[in-house]
Amino acid sequence: MQGTQRAKRARAARKRATVWHFLGLVVVFMSSVFPFYWMVTTSLKSQADALAYPPKWLFSPTFHHYSAALFEHDVASSLLNSLIIASSTTVLAILLGTPAAYALARYEFRGKEDLWFWFISNRMVSPVVLAVPFFLIATKLDLVDTHIVLILLYLTFSLPIVVWICTDQFRNIPVELDEAARLDGASPWRVFWRINLPLAMPGIVVSAIFAFIFSWNDLLYALVLTRSDAITSPVAATSYMSGYELPWGEIMATGTLIVLPMVVFALAVSGRLVQGLTMGAVK
Amino acid sequence: MASPVMHARGPRKPARYFSVLPRSPAFWFLIPAIAALAIIGIYPLLLALYNSFHQYKLADLASGTPFVGVDNYIATLTDPTFWEALGRTALFLCVTLPIEVALGLFAALLLHRTELPWMRAAARVSLVIPMATTYAVVGLIGRLIFNRQFGVANYLTGLIGIPPQDWLADPTLAFVSVMIMDIWQWTPFCALILLAGLSMVPKEAEEAARLETPKWSMILWHLQRPYLLPGLTAILILRSADMLKMFDAVFTMTRGGPGAATEFISVYIQRVGFRLFDQGMASAQAIILLILTIVLSRLYIRFVYREAA
């Protein structure tokens, strides 16, 4: 009799726990999504609906702000600039970074640890530290407001991320493959290029996505080093701020255009997001 | 695969760094990346170091760029605004980080439970959204949400009876608004790191503990805590470095204002360098910030990387 009562109580407790678990997960989901949801819905509201108080939860959507932002405010060309800059820096980072990562994974040499740590510490440097001198260099070389200066600057964080993730990836490739190829007379470069690089592709793709996201998201460097021709989309998004009455629909349409592709990319690498953000120290 | 040259010579001759490298393929694999990072990462720092010992005012280049010794450093270290910006950054860190860790732990524990697989998957995926949101856009969303006239923040606080506030015009509330957006963006990061720690706990030990006690706090403290510590150290140091870098979201949300209420260290240095055009002073400040960052990254390597490696 007592036994069944205890079992009943335990079952009730488990049920309560599940209810709390459910509610907790709902809160996590809602709070993660809400600001993003608010941005997207505001971009679809007419100005009157966007400025309504209390806020409107139901409204008839309009895509007017997207065309206004893209073509009247010329966000289209800033998105194109962002695309050019972020993909160029990603390609460069992969070209320079994968051989370095391979060497760090496969060879032993003096100073390897220090080199590794030097790569790591690059990620922690505040952009403002480099922005100050880089602005002077760019001014002297007449590179302000060009794509190339941002492509190079973004290497300071995209190259380390490629090196970190790819070193890990190369370490997971059995070294016996290298040895067998060497015995067959393949040069070190051939071993890298023909055997290791294809096998490391998953890691390379992940690191490329990270390099792209970080470059795409930067504001400070772009703010300091671009004027009009080369402005990236985050700079374009801040340029609405000068007016008196803010076109919130257009601002949020611009924000959505910037963020949406990054969310898609981040979801694609969500399994390795922590690894990418902690430089592989925590998996 | 160790290079045989290195091993034959290594022990006998105390070779200097990289002295035998050119003979090894590793040298040729590494040199492009090292050269690129040296040119774009180290050369500008040396230039900043050089400028920090000179007067370099972009608005007053007519008077040249004379050598001024450590004047810029003295001016920086005796500048109350600099210390206020640094103190504000530290305060922000001390208040925001514990909240992010606590909420992150809460989310991680919820995601770690085995029940409700579909809900867990949805919540986990939703955590990616804040992390992927461009920092500058986070600031813009903040401006929208905390708007005085039509912001949804006032609407939500109104539901529990708090009268509408002018969030971004009040120094304390502006600070809190920036904090809330930072917590929104970075709690998922803490949650995922702590979740990774929780999943390291051996399944059998956890099941045994659940039979012992129904209290999750007991299990957390006695069983799971050691597995969470490396992640916590990583969070602590990385978030500290991030706070020193924090610029984009603050710039788009408050521009450091009202007054200087949200002027964090990177925002202040940017203002000195690019709105007051004093590059010499900004360089000295950047070098001081760099030293702080190097200390942090050394700590990171010491406490996190060695353990993880």
Residue B214's pLDDT band (boundaries 50, 70, 90)? confident
Q: Which of residues 225-264 of B touch A (CB under 8 A)?
A: 230-231, 234, 238, 241, 244-245, 247-248, 251-252
B67 beta partners:
B54
Which amino acid is present at B258?
P
Residue B11 scores a pLDDT above 70: no
Cβ A121–B297 below 8 Å, yes or no?
yes
Q: Which of residues 23-52 of A touch B (CB under 8 A)?
A: 24-26, 28-29, 31-33, 35-36, 38-39, 42, 50-52
What's the pLDDT at B15? 45
The SS3 of residue B67 is strand
Structure-block tokens of residue B149: 């006239």
Backbone angles phi, psi at A58, to 5 degrees: -115, 135
Q: Give which of A119, A128, A233 to mutate to test B binding, by max B Cβ within 10 Å.
A: A128
What's the pLDDT at B309? 47
Give the rounded percent of residues in chain A with a pLDDT score beyond 90.
47
What's the pLDDT at B9? 38
Query: What digits encode the pLDDT tens for the residues B25-59?
Result: 888 899 999 999 999 888 998 998 998 898 888 87
Report the mean per-residue pLDDT for chain A.
Answer: 88
What topology does CATH give the domain B80-308?
A: MetI-like fold (1.10.3720)
Residues of chain B positioned with their CB less than 8 A from the CB of A283: 196, 308
What's the pLDDT at A235? 93
The SS3 of residue B156 is helix
Tell me the nearest-neighbour CA distance from B265 into chain A, angstroms.
10
SS (H, E, C) chain A: CHHHHHHHHHHHHHHHHHHHHHHHHHHHHHHHHHHHHHHHHHHCCCHHHHCCCCCCCCCCCCCHHHHHHHHHCCHHHHHHHHHHHHHHHHHHHHHHHHHHHHHHHHCCCCCHHHHHHHHHHHCCCCHHHHHHHHHHHHHHCCCCCCHHHHHHHHHHHHHHHHHHHHHHHHHCCCHHHHHHHHHCCCCHHHHHHHHHHHHCHHHHHHHHHHHHHHHHHCCHHHHHHCCCCCCCHHHHHHHHHHCCCCCHHHHHHHHHHHHHHHHHHHHHCHHHHHHHHCCCCCC
Q: What is the mean pLDDT of residues A179-202?
A: 90
Range from A119-123, A150-154, A161-165, A240-244 that averages highest in pLDDT: A150-154
CB atoms near residue B132 (< 10 Å): 25
Spatial contact of A206 and A165, defined as CB atoms under 8 Å apart? yes
What's the pLDDT at B23? 67
Tell me the nearest-neighbour CA distance from B132 into chain A, angstroms.
5
Query: What digits encode the pLDDT tens for the residues B136-162?
Result: 999 999 999 999 888 899 999 988 988
Residues of chain B positioned with their CB less than 8 A from the CB of A273: 128, 131, 192
Report the mean per-residue pLDDT for chain B.
Answer: 85
Question: Any idea which of A112-121, A216-225, B35-44, B149-158 has the lowest mean pLDDT?
Answer: A112-121
What's the pLDDT at B2? 39
Query: What digits encode the pLDDT tens for the residues A34-60?
Result: 999 999 999 999 888 888 888 888 888
Is the CB of B83 inside 8 Å of chain A's CB atoms? no
Nearest-CB residue to B116 (from A22, A52, A54): A22
Residue B13 scores a pLDDT above 50: no
Quick one: which of B145, B60, B248, B205 has its CA closest to A233? B248
Spatial contact of B202 and B287, defined as CB atoms under 8 Å apart? no
Cβ B308–A153 below 8 Å, yes or no?
no
Residue A4's pLDDT band (boundaries 50, 70, 90)? confident
**Residue environment code for A32-71, b if the CB has 16+ CB neighbours within 10 A, otherwise e:** bbbbbebbbbbbbbbbebbbeeebbeebeeeeebbebbbe
Quick one: which of B272, B256, B268 has its CA closest to B85? B268
What's the pLDDT at B14? 46
